[in-house]
Amino acid sequence: MAAGKGVWFMAAGCLALALFGGAARAAQEVKLAVTFDQATPMVQAARKFAELWEGRTGGAYKINIYPGGVMGGEKDNLDALMLGELEMGIFGGMHIATLTPGYSFFDCPFLFLDRDHYLRVINGRLGQGMKDIFADKFGLKYVGVTGRGYRHITSNKPVYGPDDLKGLKMRMGQTKPYLETFSGIGAVTIPIALPELFTSLKMGVVESSEGPYEQIWTYKLQEVQTYIAITGHTYAAAHFVVNKAFYDDLPDRDRKLFDECMAEAMEFGLRRAAEEENVFKSNLEKAGVKFTEAPLKPFIERATPALRKLFAELWRVTTLEEIQGL
C-alpha cells in the first residue's frame, strides 16, 4: 500500500511539473569572463551579483565566473561577447577605446579629479551616449560600473613630479589616451599587454608602469619595482557588459531583478575597492616598496596640451572644459 501511494505521489508530482514547469527546469548557464585576478574587487563584485541574482530568481540561473584571463585577453572576451559565445564580461577600458574611440576619455589619465567626478560623468549624459553606441552598433548592453582604485606610478627610481618621467621607459596599455598623455609629459611609452608586464620589467624592456594597487600587487610588481609614486592620476573603473540579445531575452521579472542585483553589486564593488586599496597598499609596504608623494596638479598642467589635442582630434562629443565643469 505504501509503495502504491509512493508511485501515485511521484506520478502526481510529475504531472504538476509538466503542467506548471519552472521548478523542474535546469538552471540556465551564464558565462562571465574577466582578465583580472579573482582577489580583485571587480571579481568580488561579480560574485556578489551572482549570489544575489541566482538567489532572487530561485536558482533559475547559474553564473560561471572565469577570472584571471582563463577565457583569453580582453579583446578575446570582447569578441566572444559580441558573437554571443559569452553572456557577460568585465573590462578595464580597452572595450571603450576599441569600440567607441570618441568616448575614450573614460579611459584617460590626468582628466578626472577623483572617483566621484568620474562616476558623475560616466553615469550622466556623456556616458549614456557611449552606452547607446554599444547597444545600437555592437549588440552589447553596458550594465554597470564599479571600482578598482586610483592609479599610481611604479618605478625603480623615485618619482616626485612630471620632470622625473622625462625619458623614463614606461609600460602603457594599448590605448591612445595613455600613450599620448604620458608621452606629452615626457615619458617614453611602450605598449605592452598586462600579462607580459612582469617579465618586461624584470628584463628591463621597461623601467616603470602605472596602475591601481590591486594590479601592482596581484601582478607581483613589488618583486621588480622599488618605488610607487602616489599620483592618483585617474580612478580605475571596472565595466560590466553583457550580450544584448541575452539581456533582452530575459523574462521581464528576471531582467528587473538583474538590474536591481547589478546596482547592488556595483555599490558593493565600490566599497570593496575603497577598503582593499588600504589592504593592497599595506601589503606593498610590507613587501618593501617605498612610497613617494607626487601631487596630481603639476602632472595635469603638463598633460593639458596632449589632452587638448585629443579633444580636438578624437573626443569631439565634448570639451575639456565641459568635463572639468561636471
Each residue's pLDDT tens digit, 186-217:
999 999 988 899 999 999 999 999 999 989 99
pLDDT greater at residue 121 or residue 2: 121
119 three-class SS: helix
Phi-psi region of 104 (alpha: psi -120 to 50; beta: other; left: phi over 0): alpha
Poorest-pLDDT segment among 10-24, 104-118, 138-152, 197-211 = 10-24
Sketch the domain layout of the chain as residue ranges: 26-325
pLDDT computed for residue 173 by the predictor: 83
pLDDT interval class at 19 (50, 70, 90): very low
User: Quick one: cell of 26?
Assistant: 535546469
Q: Is the pLDDT of residue 6 over 80?
A: no
Single-letter amino acid code for the residue at 197: L
CATH topology of domain 26-325: D-Maltodextrin-Binding Protein; domain 2 (3.40.190)
- The closest alpha carbon to 180, from 312, 294, 293, belongs to 312
Can you give the pTM of this predicted structure? 0.86
Other C-beta atoms within 10 Å of 171: how many?
Answer: 24
User: Quick one: cell of 81?
Assistant: 561577447
**Mean pLDDT of all residues in 130-158:** 97
According to DSSP, the residues that pair with 152 across neighbouring strands are 211
pLDDT computed for residue 93 by the predictor: 87
pLDDT computed for residue 25 by the predictor: 62
pLDDT interval class at 39 (50, 70, 90): confident
Poorest-pLDDT segment among 6-15, 26-35, 314-323 = 6-15
